[in-house]
Structure 1
Amino acid sequence: MDNKYFELLKSQPDLWDHFTRKEEYEPIFRDRFDRFPYYLSKTRNIFEPDVSEFLFKSGYKPEYPDGKKFAVCLTHDIDSVYRKIPGKCFHIAKSTYKKDKAEFSKNLKSICNKKQPLCNFEEIMDVEEKYGAKSSFYFLALKPGDQDYTYDIMDFKDDIRYIRDRGLEVGLHGGHDAYNLYEKICEEKKRLEDALGSEVIGYRNHFLHFKTPDTWEHLAHAGFKYDTTFGYADCVGFRNGMCHPFRPYNLNTNEFINITEIPLAVMDCTILHSYMKLNYDTAMNLAKSMIDKVAELNGVFTLLWHNTYLQSDTPELRFYEEILNYCNQKNAWITDGLSISEHLETTYV
């Protein structure tokens, strides 16, 4: 953190405690996934990035390429790439009922093609290109026997190298317990780098598992340049009042940690399905109001949309495209985590 902003923020005890997430250091309770959830937080103004607003009013105004006022960090967690056989059979039956020969043929072929339709990376990139956008794809690199092992990353080395060669980022989606195990993080990082054939510097943990400040320390020591796990699973918003990338501060050591956090603002299953369960219009209005606030503060709006929610002709895909169109109209820099991390390397707060 720039000394000037560090001192200003530290002079505001409530904001400083919120920024550092002091209440998360020794919580009485954590949820069943060992996470600190929003419903246990004493800070209730989750939709207001109050720390970023204070910094902005104090003179912190980051700049972005081509005169863009704010940025959007697009991200995808790749939890699944295979559709299960029962699901394939359902779609065959559906196309038979509709007497749609073309759809029937396509679905019949999918029985033999285990990568359809969840291995939809090229389609996602094509959608994003329409809005001048690119994104980060975070892949699991688990081994057989690990919780939620659903694919072998080596089976997809051609796919992930294709993503990289199109100029987008491939990052690591850490397994369930990696967030608290340095050796596990390093093991999964190496496995993904072996498949990709190049260095991996971006990270998000599966199920948004995170422990403050330990996870940041593990990731920094493992050689990651940035993390983008830091958001609540049970509510969208600004977990520590920040809508700007920042260097985390460790209250145990009284030192900044050598990693950038690009805080997560909105996740698909949080806003639409598993937690908040908002209807389409309410969710869209909330997301747009958050984007408007981030734009006012020259911040970064981070969106997590799983590949499983980006299949054709679904409400989730329409929602995603509406967000992209809205941000594009607001003249946002819509890009991946790697680009944001590199661009803001010297402007941390």
Structure 2
Amino acid sequence: MYKLLMENQDSWDIFTRKEEYYPEKLDEHQRFLFSEKDLLNASEPEVSRYLMENGMQVEFPENKSFAVCLTHDVDDIYPPLSHSLLSSAYSLKRLNFKDSAAQLLWKLRGIDYSPYLNFSKIMDIEASFEAESSFYFITAEADPIRFRYDIEDIEHHLGEVLDRGWEVGLHGGYYSYDSPDKIKKEKERLEAVLGKKVIGFRNHYLRFKTPDSWEILASAGFSYDSTFGHRYSVGFRNGMCHPFSPYNLNTGKKIAILEIPLVVMDTALFATSKSFEEAWERTKSLIDTTASLNGVITLLWHNFAFSCNFRQGWVKLYEKVLQYCSEKGAWMTSGEEIYRWWADRS
């Protein structure tokens, strides 16, 4: 693949994200700041298209034509006060007094009654479409906004996720993305709770530095990453709608990790869409484009969305996507399963 891309300088530069090596501007979270041109071009996976037009072949289980990688970042397992107040007000406005009170008083029943411990609910939705997904959990102790949670407190919930065949991965801490020691420590903490190796990763706030983050994750023992995407929009960050092994321009070598690029994140999608219909049409277009190239489209829906009644439209869209992809014959699965399938054929 590298040899073919090197023959087309434009494709090679897009694939390697050469411009991210020495960025002129970063945002407030030290992430690469994309130009308007970058964001406009993000809807076209031109590198994947070039590869497919020049002989790359892709196959999936049971002769599926494309794949959907379903993922959830678990930023919170207890609703922040702002979420509880908004949910309570939403219910009160609709004269649902019982639910309004429940949104505020769940703590009186104990932390196991937190509405954000909703992994079974999410898995049930996905299972109804014969789909599976990945959940990425935080183990970092520090966060720029608030204390998140202690992973040890939800060991039995993690066990249920694993027992049902879904994946548990690491959601790297905000301050960890450029620290090999912190990432290794967080990985070991999650593995100690799970009693098994963790292979999948996505960083909090999508903090990522090309190509350093890939090198750090590879050295920490991760098999794949799914951070590489857009925070302020949706689409294909380096023109790829297929998993790929990154190439380090500084060393001239392949990096020993698989990137399953993030394409659609719920918060970015709805922040940049004027309506539910627009959000759906944009997502549908990306799905159709990916399907036409036998690719993989990665979706991120945060777990909180499934228990925020003021985010019901987000859940409705997620279910609409699952229905649509099911009807198109997609393989809908976790990052772990995508990785294992891809690695066996690389």
TM-score normalised by length of structure 2:
0.93
Task: Give distance in 1, aligned partners of 2:198 and 2:338.
Answer: 15
Cα distance in 2 for residues equivalent to 1:207 and 1:57: 35
**Secondary structure of the residue that 1:72 maps to in structure 2?**
strand
Structure-1 residue corresponding to 2:280: 284
1:75 counterpart SS class: strand
Is the Cα–Cα contact under 8 Å of residues 85 and 111 in structure 1 kept in the other structure? no
Give the match's secondary structure for 1:192: helix
Could you give the per-residue CA deviations for residues 125-145 of structure 1, whole angstroms, max 9, x where no partner exists?
0000111111000000022x4
Match of 2:48 in 1: 52
Question: Unaligned regions of 5+ residues in structure 2, if any?
Answer: none
Q: Percentage identity across aligned positions? A: 45
Q: Is the 8 A contact 2:74 2:136 kept in 1?
A: yes
Q: Is the 8 A contact 1:88 1:111 kept in 2?
A: no
CA offset digits 1:162-218 (Å, max 9, x no partner): 101110100000011211111011011011111111110000000000000000000
2:300 to 295, 299, 304: 304
- The alpha carbon displacement at 1:7 in A equals 1.6
SS class of match (2:297): strand
Secondary structure of the structure 2 residue equivalent to 1:344: helix
Amino acid in the other structure paired with 2:122: I
Which letter maps to 1:119? Answer: L
Distance 1:339 1:149 in 2: 31
Partner of 1:223: 221
Q: Which residue of 2 aligns with 1:257?
A: 255
Secondary structure of the structure 2 residue equivalent to 1:203: strand
Alignment of 1:204 with 2:202, yes or no, is yes
The match for 1:110 is 106
Which amino acid in structure 2 is aligned with residue 287 of structure 1?
A: T
Quick check: 2:39–2:233 contact (8 Å CA) kept in 1?
Answer: no
Distance 1:119 1:196 in 2: 17
**From 15, 20, 31, the counterpart of 2:16:** 20
8 Å CA contact 2:143–2:175 kept in 1: the answer is: no
Map of 2:154 onto structure 1? 156
TM-aligned CA distance change 1:283 to 1:99, over 3 Å: closer
Residue in structure 1 matched with residue 117 of structure 2 by the alignment: 119
**Distance in 2, Cα, partners of 1:90 & 1:16:** 46
Change (3 A) 1:284 1:146: closer
Change (3 A) 1:45 1:84: closer
| Residue 347 (structure 1) shift | 3.6
SS of residue paired to 1:141: coil
Is the alpha carbon distance of 1:42 and 1:159 closer, same or farther for their aligned partners in structure 2, counting shifts above 3 Å? closer
Quickly say closer, same or farther: Cα 1:158–1:7, change in 2 above 3 A.
Answer: same
Counterpart amino acid of 2:330? A
> Helix, strand or coil: the match of 1:74?
strand
Distance 1:341 1:103, change over 3 A: same
Instruction: Judge conservation of contact 1:267–1:305 (CA < 8 Å) in 2.
Output: yes
Alignment partner of 1:11 is 2:11 = no
CA RMSD in angstroms, aligned pairs only? 2.0
Are the counterparts in 2 of residues 168 and 336 from structure 1 also a CA contact under 8 Å?
yes
Pick aligned residue for 1:33 from 20, 26, 29? 29
**Letter aligned with residue 238 of structure 1:** F
**SS of the residue 2:307 aligns to:** coil
| Whole-angstrom CA distance in 2 between matches of 1:107 and 1:271 | 26
Quote the offset at 1:37 in angstroms. Answer: 2.7
In structure 2, what is the Cα distance between the partners aligned to 1:312 and 1:197? 31
Equivalent residue number for residue 69 of structure 2: 73
In the other structure, the counterpart of 1:343 is 341
Q: AA paired with 1:181?
A: S
Query: 1:239-286: per-residue Cα shift (whole Å, max 9, x none)?
Result: 00000000000000000000000000000000102xx24311111101
Alpha carbons of 1:129 and 1:31: their partners in 2 closer, same or farther (altered >3 Å)?
same
- Please tell me the residue identity of whatever aligns with 1:317: V
Secondary structure of 1:301's aligned partner: strand
Contact residue 87 and residue 308 of structure 2 kept, 8 A: no
The alignment covers a number of residue pairs equal to: 341
Ranges in structure 1 where 5+ consecutive residues have no aligned partner:
none
What's 1:192 paired with?
Answer: 190
Q: Distance in 2 between matches of 1:233 and 1:95?
A: 30
Cα deviation, residue 87, structure 1? 5.0
Kindly indicate whether residue 230 of structure 2 is the aligned counterpart of residue 232 of structure 1: yes
> How many angstroms apart in 1 are the aligned matches of 2:31 and 2:16?
16
Q: 1:95 to 1:238 in 2, by over 3 A?
A: closer
